[in-house]
Amino acid sequence: MSSIIEMPELVLERIIGFSNFKDVLTLRQVCRDFRNFIDDLKDSKLPYSKFKQIEIVSKKDENKIVFAFVDFDGTCFRIEYSESANSRKYQRKTTVFENSNIVDVAIRDLQLVLKFQKSQLERLYFDVDDFQLLPGLLLHNFPVKLSNMFKMLNRRIKTETFTTETYNQSQIMRLLPFVDPDARRKLILLAKDDDMKLEIDEIVKTEQWKKSQEIHCDFHVLNVNVEDIFHFSRITLTMNTIPARDLDILRKVFILSSKFEHAFFELTHFHENEEISNLWGTPFNTGSSSNWYFRIKDLEEEVLHIEFRGQFINFHLIDLRHVLTGAIIQDYNEN
């Protein structure tokens, strides 16, 4: 191996530049000198990984970190890091690290992989368990070290969809700032506990929130100002309740918007049916739902359909031919 390292750097750079991304990851495991040489290369000298999806998962029940990478042809490969065995498993090779912290090994590997990724991802997914109650594990420091790695990377990750699934809302603000706000279209926030609540005050201030086109959040969202969701074309939120006044504001925004497609709200309770009827008139009832229809600015063949079905409220655009027989379509009115 020493003869390879003694080759001129330009030759080594060309060999690596023309190699397959996965081959370079394998070469890193040959020896320390080769690994250091690859890690020190400028981004422009590295091959293009061509991933469309990256998943970053930590599993406290297995004491394991897993990275999954999906190519545009659908091929997926995984790298697993075991704390109990202090090892990395990549393809068919398992490497045991006698004197290295396995979390540090995983962070270094991920940093390199992200340097290979030179185009926009379709999806970046995080499922980082909360290890706060398990300080004895090395994985306890993984979320913080992950955040520090993104800071050192000194660039934001371009991804169409950012997804995080967590027990702890602090993980969202730890990771969200490292996503390129100009690249992302969809923001997905998933709760691992059905009863989890999310204080959204800080999240809505981020450029990532403001520039997203879609939001899907199954946390019970607290402190939502209706103005903070005007810009989304598609909305799915779980909330305690929504005042009738705010629902009417949304209606007015949606009939004026050329981008709006759909908004779905799951509420814990709603007790302002009388106020809604005063604002929108008598609904068309089907027995299982209450329905209102409103014409939209500059659209002749589509209308805004608002449906109340138990604790669910649904705003969506539909073709005129799908309006329920006998229902009244209210004329367009900005007021």
* Close Cβ partners of 246 (under 8 Å, ≥ 6 residues apart): 226
Positive/negative CA dihedral, 8, 14, 15, 17: positive
Q: Provide the pLDDT for residue 43.
A: 62
Cα of first residue to Cα of last residue in the chain, in angstroms, is: 76
d(Cα 28, Cα 8) in Å, to the nearest integer?
18
Q: Extract the residue ranges of the chain whose pLDDT is less than 70.
A: 1-9, 11, 13-31, 34-35, 40-48, 129-138, 334-335
Q: By the 8 A CB rule, do 178 and 164 touch?
A: no
Per-residue pLDDT at 36: 73
pLDDT at 2 (0 to 100): 46
In Å, the largest CA–CA distance within the chain is 84
20: three-class secondary structure by DSSP: coil
Tokens representing residue 217 in the block: 């959040």
Which is nearest to 83 in space by CA: 62, 104, 63? 63
Rounded to 5 degrees, φ, ψ at 185 are: -110, -35
28 within 8 A of 34, measured Cβ to Cβ: yes
Give the three-state DSSP class for 9. helix
One-character DSSP codes across 95-112: EE-SSS-HHHHHHHHHHH
Best CA proximity match to 110, nearest among 171, 64, 55, 174: 55
Instruction: In whole angstroms, give the CA distance from residue 33 to residue 5.
Output: 7
pLDDT for res 29: 63
In terms of DSSP bridges, do strands 121-128 and 159-166 run parallel, antiparallel, or are they unpaired? parallel
Lookup result for tokens 């590997």:
109
| Pick among 3.30.160, 3.30.70, 1.20.5, 3.40.50: CATH of 238-335 | 3.30.160
At 101, the amino acid letter reads: N
Q: Model confidence over 143-200: pLDDT tens digits?
A: 888 889 998 888 889 999 999 998 778 889 889 999 999 987 999 999 988 888 999 9
Domain ranges of the chain: 1-46, 48-223, 238-335
Between CA 213 and CA 222, with CA 230 as vertex, the angle to 5 degrees is 95
Q: Is the distance from CB of 131 to CB of 61 less than 8 angstroms?
A: no
The closest alpha carbon to 188, from 52, 55, 50, belongs to 55
Count the Cβ atoms, other than its own, within 10 Å of residue 188.
18
Q: What is the CATH number of domain 1-46?
A: 1.20.1280
